[in-house]
Amino acid sequence: MNLSGGQQTRAALGKLLLQDIDLLLLDEPTNHLDLDALEWLETYLSSWKGALVVVAHDRYFLDKIVSRTIELAFGRIEEYPGNYTKYLELREERMDRRVREYEAQQAYIAHTEEFIRRYKAGQRSREARGRQTLLNRMARVERPQDFPELAFEFTPVTDSGLVVVAMQKLTVGYGSDTRSPSQTGMPMALMNVNEVELVRGDRVGLLGPNGSGKTTLLRTLIGELAALSGQVQMGHNVRIGYYSQTHTGLNMANSVLDEIREVSTFSEEGARGFLGRFLFSGDDVFKAISMLSGGERSRVALAKLTLQGSNFMVLDEPTNHLDLQSRQLLEEVLGEYEGTLLFVSHDRYFIDRLATKVWVVEQGTLIPYLGNYTEYRMHKQQIVQNTLVAPAKKSSVENTKTVAAAKTSGKKGAKVKARTVEDVEGDIEKAETQIKEIEAALEVAALNADAAQLTQLTADYEQVKARVEQLMNEWEHLADMAS
């Protein structure tokens, strides 16, 4: 069976959650999941009654799910109460305290050793020997170790024009000259873009389900793929820097050192110094790209990107394979970048930190929204709430009118029978039975990890709940009229 990474992850989770278990051990469960699936998983795990141990690099996920954080580093295990954000706060406090303790002890040791050197042969030699004994017995505070940090920046060599890229009636996908996922070779459209512009200084996060064509759109914009129809117009003086999530821009046969020297004027010594800023030292620079881990390849790709002087950065999942510290530093570097940014990411912290706009693929069409990911979600939730509330209010008004019309018609001798309190009570009982049935179905869908069914059932549940509220209003109205 040919499943995508996201489908494999959902299948594995579904199989796991079907079991009667008390402890969940999850190793990077958020990998390959799109944002809808991530939100479903967070909702499910938030209500999980058993114990949970999870390894993850998704900070948004960790903040919502965990209540304790355990750090494995430098051959030791340390525990922190709270979620990831609380862990960062407590870890900084702990590191500051350890640095102060270490520096205070080093100052005491230096002072004591100076005293011993000065008086070991004089009248205070006995005191000096005593201090030496105490110094020998002292438990030494270890020098605090912290994670090594990348050190780089992106600097455009020139400004672009005001409009960086403009799209008109664009359709992207796989053409007849491109191998499509179905291997048929037939054209397959993935996404339509009506009229969208990217303006100098924009920071746009591109969101959408897996397989919706996000990477295909990026590759179309940079000229790697031809559009199926429509136009892409690149602005004046635009210099593109592209980061591929699959690292297609790296030559697997090259060494790390050769890969950098091919795109720079560095001497070997200069290239080694430059690579040191990306945590490559010693013989690491002679490793073949093909032998590197995903995180190491990401660092090489970022190193090459800094050398291009691009004013328009197109980044496809740049945080994949990076550890949490490197992700945070990349956010800081991109936050100071003075060019234009278009990126695909499933890291919601990353999107919130950088995006001033989001482009969302909805039912095959690109829809632009102002704001970051959190602001977009709030906007969508408000639309959903308005959609649910409006029909309920409309139905309530219509039912009131129906009751009044029935009474009026009755006075005129019409055969339309007015609804009674008993009629409404019967409808309420039926609606409450529906609610119980939907709740049972929701439990099954949660066990099956069926995000699509959960979404539909949740919408059905809200509609029936609104119907019950409407019926209760009608019942109160009829009861008041009868009294």
Domain ranges of the chain: 5-74, 86-137, 163-373, 378-482
Tell whether domain 5-74 is in CATH 3.40.1160.10: no
Band (452; pLDDT cuts 50, 70, 90) = low
Q: Is the pLDDT of residue 388 over 60?
A: no
Which pTM does this prediction carry?
A: 0.72
Beta carbons of 187 and 176 less than 8 angstroms apart: yes
Residue 103: CB partners within 8 Å, gap ≥ 6?
none
Q: Which two tokens stand for residue 258?
A: 């050769």
Q: Enter the tokens of residue 201.
A: 């200084």
CA distance 198 to 245: 22
* Element containing residue 36 per DSSP (H, E): helix 35-46
Q: What is the pLDDT of residues 7-21, one digit of tens each?
A: 666 677 777 767 778
Nearest-CA neighbor of 473 among 408, 395, 405? 395
**Among 171-185, 359-373, 426-440, the range of highest mean pLDDT:** 359-373
pLDDT tens digits, one per residue of 17-69: 677 788 889 988 888 788 888 888 888 888 888 899 999 989 999 999 999 99
8 A C-beta contact, residue 314 and residue 243: yes
Answer whether 351's CB lies under 8 Å from 357's CB.
no
Pick the CATH number of 163-373 from 3.40.50.300, 1.10.1370.30, 3.20.20.70, 2.60.120.430: 3.40.50.300
3-class SS of residue 81: strand
C-alpha torsion sign, points 236, 357, 223, 336: positive
Can you give the length of the chain in residues? 483
